[in-house]
Every structure is written in C-alpha cells, then in structure tokens.
Amino acid sequence: MILENKTILVTGGSGSFGTKFTQVALRDYNPKAIRVFSNNEFEQYLMQQKLKDERIRYFIGDVRDKDRLCRAMKGVEIVVHAAALKEVPACEYNPFEAVKTNIIGTQNVIEAVIDCGVEKAINISTDKAVNPVNLYGATKMCAEKLFVQANAYSGQSGTKFACSRYGNVAGSRGSVIPLFLKQKDAGVLTITDERMTRFWISLEDGIRFVINCIEKMTGGEVFIPKIPSMKIIDLAKIIAPQAQIKITGIRPGEKLDEVLLTAEEIGHTKEYNDYYIIEPEFSFWGQNNLNGGKSLPEGFVYSSGVSKDQLDRGQIERILQTLEIEK
C-alpha cells in the first residue's frame, strides 16, 4: 500500500478533510507518521482530543510561509495539499487573501515539495475549478494548473504532482445536509432552485479516492471519480417531508448542476471503470502507464444534471441513515 511506513504531510490538516484523512490513513494504511500542517491551533487542539495517536505530529504554519513549509517537509515522502480559503462569499469580499492562500500558497507548497525531495504530492481540487464563475473557483483552477505543470519543474526523476477533483462532500460542514437538518426544526427548508442537482460523495469515500489516486499517479493527472448524483429537492423532501420548501433563487456564483469534466477537456481524457483521468495537453508528456483507459465521445460532459447514475429517493434515504454528519 502506498501509504504504508511513509511520512505524510497534510496542508490544511486540521480541517474536515485533513482530520478524516488522518483518521482513515492511521486506521487502515499504517503510515510511519502524519504531519498535520495548519494555521488553526484550536482545530489542532480539537483534533488531538479526537485522534490520540503517537504517529501524528502537529505543525502550526501557513501555506503563505514557504520557509515554514520547507521546515515542516523535511523527511516527508507524500504531501496532500488540502489547505484553501473555500467560502465563496468570503473569497469574493477578500479577493487578495484568496489569491495569497489558494494560488501563491499552492506555489509555495510546490516549491517546498521540490526543494525537500518529496516523492509525490496531490492537490485536492473541486468542481468549482471547472468553468469557474466565482473567485474561489478561479483560484482552484489556477491551483490545478500549477500542480499539473509542476511536473515540468521537478523533472522526470523528481517529485510527481497530480490533482484529485470531486464535488461537494455530503454531510460535511457548510454542505446542504447540515443546513436542512437545522432548518427542519423551523419547518421551512430553503432551496435556491428546484432544478438543482449535485453529485454525492461521502467524506470517507473522497479520502479513499484520494489515496487511490496517490497509488496510481505517475505525474500530471487530474483524477475524477465516477459518483452518483441527486436532485436537491428530493433530498429536502426526505430530510423534512412535512416542511415547507421555499425557493430563494440562485445565488451569485452558484450553478444549477455540478460539472466535473467539460467537453473541452475530453480530447485528453481517458475513462476507466471507476474514474476519469484528464491528461496534460503537452506533447512531451507520456508518463501515464495505466492500462485500459478509453477515449470519450465528442461532446461528452460529466455533469450531475445528465449523469446516468442518478440516486432515487429510496437510495438517498438509505444512504442518509449511514452518513456521518459534521456539525
């Protein structure tokens, strides 16, 4: 297994993704050590109370500080880059800060990774990076481009960089499920548009996908999981069947459907049983040694609105019963 006996550093490591990644990796993949790198000492304190394992190391630091990153990465073999400013309105109101963290911070991570001789680094991306309509999405698109092209900086014998792109995590903080559960008591659930659809992936499934990407990556790929989608209005009616549904209108920067793969990207995308891989558009790139991938038909788009794997209300209800909801 790729993580076994490895020293791993996770940027943004005390957030939702980082905490769960650390938990799953320690429980199932036997790493030598995990270094949690984040700028939130209170979240690190909470994480220490939740995960009592001597293999975890806690580093206070910010991805804006390259020197601190370099110090934290000494002896690290795998880096998972999950640090980002993610709240769309906050990024719109504080654009310079979003750029400093999500773009310049990503550049700092890349340079520190190369300088410290890390074997593999993977960037956690988002559907918002696809045809971005807000600043957060634009910064995440830039982060993807930086990570893919970083392979040209590290050279064939150096660090391998790749990205993992998937959509909203069901049940995570800031997602619609905790919001609906909170609104349920008031008897009114707000939906921006009754046509809205979203892909469905649990936090643990997202983490296992990322670990699988680390295992398979050879440098330059953007990995996209094949996951089911759902109608938000179906989810609302299952969570609170007696509640009133209030349509509020699409918010600035919001899309009706999640798009994980565009028609413009399919010319250099390969399909596998459980995922897609977007390959770099550079003539010199030919490192991907995965077998079995097939080309996609012209005009194909991987969108939650047209996905063939749509969850019906019964399936959503069964999954909700086992879903871990973050408060």
- Domain contains 194: no
Helix (H, G, I), strand (E, B) or coil at 108: helix
Is there a domain that residue 196 lies in?
no
Residue 273 CB: number of other CB atoms within 10 A?
7
Domain range enclosing 95: 7-167+201-225+260-301
- Cβ neighbors of 179 (< 8 A, separation 6 or more) are 190
Tens digits of residue pLDDT in 202-234: 899 999 999 999 999 999 999 999 999 999 999
Pick from 56-65, 73-82, 203-212, 298-307: least confident: 298-307
pLDDT digits (tens, 9 = 90+) for 143-188: 999 999 999 998 766 899 999 999 888 777 767 888 888 898 889 9
104 pLDDT band, cuts 50/70/90, is very high
Which residues, in sequence order, are CB contacts of 189 under 8 Å at separation 6+?
180, 183, 236, 239, 240, 243, 244, 245, 246
Q: Are 121 and 159 in contact (CB under 8 A)?
A: yes
Q: Is residue 179 part of a domain?
A: no
Can you read off the two tokens belonging to residue 185?
A: 């008591």
Residue 265's pLDDT band (cuts 50, 70, 90): very high
Higher pLDDT, 291 or 71: 71
266: CB partners within 8 A, 6+ apart = 295, 296, 297, 298, 299, 300
| Burial (CB count within 10 angstroms: exposed 0-12, middle 13-18, buried 19+), residue 244 | exposed
Instruction: Assess whether pLDDT exceeds 80 at residue 55.
Output: yes
Q: Which pLDDT belongs to residue 174?
A: 67
Residue 67 carries which side chain, given as an amino acid letter? D
pLDDT reported for residue 253: 74
User: pLDDT tens digit string along 278-298?
Assistant: 998 876 566 555 667 898 998
Mean pLDDT value across residues 311-319? 85
Residue 185 resides in a domain = no
Q: Could you give the 3-state DSSP secondary structure of residue 73?
A: coil
How confident is residue 327, by pLDDT bands cut at 50, 70 and 90?
Answer: low
Considering the entire predicted model, what is its pTM?
Answer: 0.92
Q: 290-299: b or e for each residue (b if 16 or more CB lie within 10 Å)?
A: eeebeebeee
**Domain-embedded: residue 208:** yes
* N-to-C CA span, the chain: 32
CA distances in angstroms from 89 to 94, 122, 178, 194, listed in the order given: 8, 26, 19, 22
Q: Which CATH number fits the domain that encloses residue 127? A: 3.40.50.720
Sign of CA dihedral 102, 117, 213, 13: negative
Q: Do residues 84 and 109 make contact, with C-beta atoms less than 8 angstroms apart?
A: no
In a domain, 70, yes or no: yes
Are 3 and 30 contacting, i.e. CB atoms less than 8 angstroms apart? yes
**What is the reported pLDDT for 271?**
94
**Complete DSSP assignment for 211-231:** HHHHHH--SS-EEEE---EEE
Q: Is 231 a catalytic site residue?
A: no
Number of domains observed in the structure of the chain: 1
Residue of 6, 66, 120, 128 marked active site: 128
Residue 274 lies in a domain: yes
More confident residue, 7 or 240: 7
Give one DSSP letter per residue of 158-195, joined into a string. S-EEEEEEE-PPBTSTTSHHHHHHHHHTTTEEEES-TT
Q: Is there a domain that residue 293 lies in? A: yes
With b for 16 or more beta-carbon neighbours within 10 A and e for fewer, the 49-88 pattern comes to eebeeebbebbebbbeebebbeebbeebbbbbbbbbbbeb
Cβ neighbour number for residue 185 with a 10 Å cutoff: 9
pLDDT tens digit string along 10-43? 999 999 999 999 999 999 999 999 999 999 999 9
Give the span between the Cα atoms of 82 and 115, in whole angstroms. Answer: 19
